Amino acid sequence: MPNIILVGFMGTGKTSVGRRLSRCLEMPYLDTDEIIEQSAGRCITDIFAQHGESYFRELESEAVQKISGLDKHVISTGGGIVLRAGNLEILKRNGLVFCLTATSEEIWARVKNETHRPLLKAPEPVEKIRKMLEAREAYYALADYTIQTDGLPIEQVTDEVIEVFQNAINSR
Ligand code: S3P
């Protein structure tokens, strides 16, 4: 059984959907951001503040390497994991990749009360999100499936992923 890999911008619901998928399908759950924090012994905000984004991207690629041999897991990833081509290539070897999407306005509404996303600390956050989405569009398009999440509850997004996943493995 392949992994279910969730990619997509910050605030598209990867963690909540991933945890629910894990419960519904009885597949263990992993999150690349958590793997990075555990091995670095620091939170993402501190890693960005002390070493910058490119160092964080190195740790992110190391986390992908670490989990590359797994199967039958639900794996949520950080929103920028797609930026290094090799990461998605490795994740696709043992998994089906689902990209969760939402508009910049909806993303901001979901994340504005949270403090752990250094890249969204900007004077005009919706504009920053819009620009980042545009810059990343081509990378997110490399996912196997795209699931639109605007206005949808976690349960509905989860059910949709399950349906697509089950159809995909049944037709293999
Ligand atoms: C990032 C997304 C974050 C985290 C880091 C960078 C990004 O993860 O990996 O702050 O570049 O989009 P979430 O998508 O889980 O918030």
C-alpha 32 to ligand 1 mean position (Å): 10
Contact 81, 64 (CB under 8 A): yes
Look at residue 101 and tell me whether its pLDDT is greater than 90: yes
- Residue 172, pLDDT > 90, answer no
The structural domains of the chain, with segments of one domain joined by +, span: 3-170
Compute the distance from residue 133 Cα to the ligand 1 centre, in Å.
Answer: 13
- 16-54 confidence digits (pLDDT tens): 999 999 999 999 999 999 999 999 999 999 999 999 999
Within 6 A (CB) of ligand 1 lie 10, 14, 33, 44, 78-80, 117-119
CA triplet 150, 155, 156: central angle to 5 degrees?
50
Confidence of residue 87 (pLDDT cuts 50, 70, 90): very high
pLDDT band at residue 115 using 50, 70 and 90 as cut-offs = confident
- The total number of residues shown for the chain amounts to 172
Residue from 5, 7, 10, 134 whose mutation best tests the ligand 1 pocket (most atoms within 8 A of CB):
10
Q: Among the atoms of ligand 1, which is closest to the Cα of residue 32?
A: 9
Overall fold of domain 3-170: Rossmann fold (3.40.50)
Nearest partner of 15 among 23, 24, 6, judged by Cα: 6
Segment (H or E) for 3: strand 3-8
